[in-house]
Structure 1
Amino acid sequence: MQNLDRPRRHLALALAGLAGFVDAAGYLSADRYFVSFMSGNTTRLGVELAREPAAAVFPALLAISFVAGVLAGALLSGRIPGRHKPPLLAGVATGLAFAAWLFGAGDGRAALIVLAAAMGALNNSFQSGGKVSVGITYMTGALVKLGQGLAALLQRRTADPWGDWLLLWIALACGATLGALAFVNWPGVALWIAAIVAAVLSLAARALPGRAP
């Protein structure tokens, strides 16, 4: 986060909020699975393998779909480095819209698989040297950096600005709250809202100054 200019920091916070929104809506939509938090799905995979092996297929499919989304996003980013954000986010918006259509058609599990791919791709939004520099959909790393930054502050050592990581976590938490509220009150509309937000952010990304990161 500390290497991003202000417009890109704002975009990172908005994307984290979007990820939280989608994850909460996905979690509530079918069987309490996550579409971006693969650590949670991996735990469910292990539990299902121990209890009912046949039920472990679906969390495994979610993990595979997430990785496929990361792969697709990384390939796109590699083809047009520094200019990948608008098409990447347009692709995410398309995936979210397709998932919203699947959910409306009554195929909640297929919608979750598409959402997982979209969230995987979203993690390629910010890259440095071909690697993800800001994890948009997972906050464990951000919280670790927050804790390390606070420790450095207490020890009077130089550290990354810990406030950036705190804001990123807050953005995802607020997005998750809004996603849950939207799904509880308008279950057929929540994912369409996410798709529209992603499309708007794709347009906003076109106005970013410079080309990288």
Structure 2
Amino acid sequence: MPQTRPSLRALQLGLSGLAGLLDATGFLIANGYFVSFMSGNTTQLGVNALDGIGSVLLPAGLIACFLGGVSAGAAIGWTSRVWPRTLLLATSLALISAAAVAYALGSTLGFLIPAGFAMGVVNNVFLRDDSSAAGVTYMTGALVRIGQNFAARWMKRDDRIKPGYGPLWLCLLGGAVLGTWLHTFDGAIGPAVAVGANALLLVLAWRTEKGQAHPA
């Protein structure tokens, strides 16, 4: 669910933008596959299922990488007594940096594997804040909530409105537009920008957790 504390809200929006940027980059360089949108990869896996084992390896591999990242991130989030968000974003920064270097060296697979793993990891950044641990790298649920909010407004049921989902969706969209635009110049620019964005989010997470650990 959307965060209400300003610093955490900024972190959540930033993660959605980062996911959009990386997803657009992965989609463009892998001819229609994603590093964070696993519903799309699952559909591709089903479409390719009758074409032989070679056709399902990439979507299945990306799903496996994402699942591995989610599991590893959950383990970090649950076991870290201090700085869980900082540790998770440090992990994703290392992975996205490796992905950017691999792509700069000409390895598409070298980009997709760590990027997919990183997107799984960051879905645990708010693991302790909400029992549903809603993801931040995919927006189908957000769109469902937006549609429900429209209905609540039409029916004058303001008590049913859950705000904050529209900006999340817009950040994902904006990140995707940015990633696509950067790709028109040089495919390696998008991953490099993603590294910088992740680094900024890491600093934000650290400052937030530092404030919680040492209240003024």
Superposition TM-score, scaled by structure 2 size:
0.90
> Which residue identity does 1:154 align to in structure 2?
W
Aligned counterpart, 2:174: 174
Secondary structure (helix, strand or coil) at the match of 2:83 reads coil
| TM-fit CA distance, 1:125 | 1.2
Instruction: Give the 3 Å change call, closer, same or farther, for CA 191–129 of structure 1 in structure 2.
Output: closer
Aligned counterpart, 1:111: 111
Map 1:59-98; keep pairs closer than 5 Å: 59-80=59-80, 83-98=83-98
Give percent identity, aligned residues only.
36
Secondary structure (helix, strand or coil) at the match of 2:121 reads helix
The 8 Å contact of residues 2 and 165 in structure 2, kept in 1 or not, is answered as no
Secondary structure (helix, strand or coil) at the match of 1:55 reads helix
Aligned counterpart, 1:121: 121
The 8 Å contact of residues 153 and 161 in structure 2, kept in 1 or not, is answered as no
Secondary structure (helix, strand or coil) at the match of 2:212 reads coil
| TM-fit CA distance, 1:155 | 2.0
Instruction: Give the 3 Å change call, closer, same or farther, for CA 142–130 of structure 1 in structure 2.
Output: closer
Residues 1:161 and 2:162 aligned together:
yes
The 8 Å contact of residues 2 and 160 in structure 1, kept in 2 or not, is answered as no
| TM-fit CA distance, 1:186 | 2.1
> Which residue identity does 2:4 align to in structure 1?
L
Which stretch of the first structure deviates more once superposed, 1-10 or 73-82? 1-10
Instruction: Give the 3 Å change call, closer, same or farther, for CA 2–183 of structure 1 in structure 2.
Output: closer
Aligned counterpart, 1:41: 41
Secondary structure (helix, strand or coil) at the match of 1:185 reads coil
Could you list the runs of 5+ residues in structure 2 that have no partner in the other structure? none
Aligned counterpart, 2:31: 31
The 8 Å contact of residues 78 and 130 in structure 1, kept in 2 or not, is answered as no
The 8 Å contact of residues 21 and 194 in structure 2, kept in 1 or not, is answered as yes
Aligned counterpart, 1:198: 198
Which stretch of the first structure deviates more once superposed, 96-105 or 69-78? 96-105
Could you list the runs of 5+ residues in structure 1 that have no partner in the other structure? none
| TM-fit CA distance, 1:31 | 2.4
Task: Write the deviation string for residues 108-144 of structure 1: whole angstroms up to 9, x where unpaired.
Answer: 0231111110001111111246745342111001111
Could you list the structure 1 runs, at least 4 aligned residues long, displaced by more than 6 angstroms after superposition: none
Q: Give the Cα–Cα distance (whole angstroms) in 1 for the partners of residues 188 and 212 of structure 2.
A: 38
Instruction: Give the 3 Å change call, closer, same or farther, for CA 173–23 of structure 1 in structure 2.
Output: same
The 8 Å contact of residues 66 and 119 in structure 1, kept in 2 or not, is answered as yes
Q: Give the Cα–Cα distance (whole angstroms) in 2 for the partners of residues 76 and 128 of structure 1.
A: 11
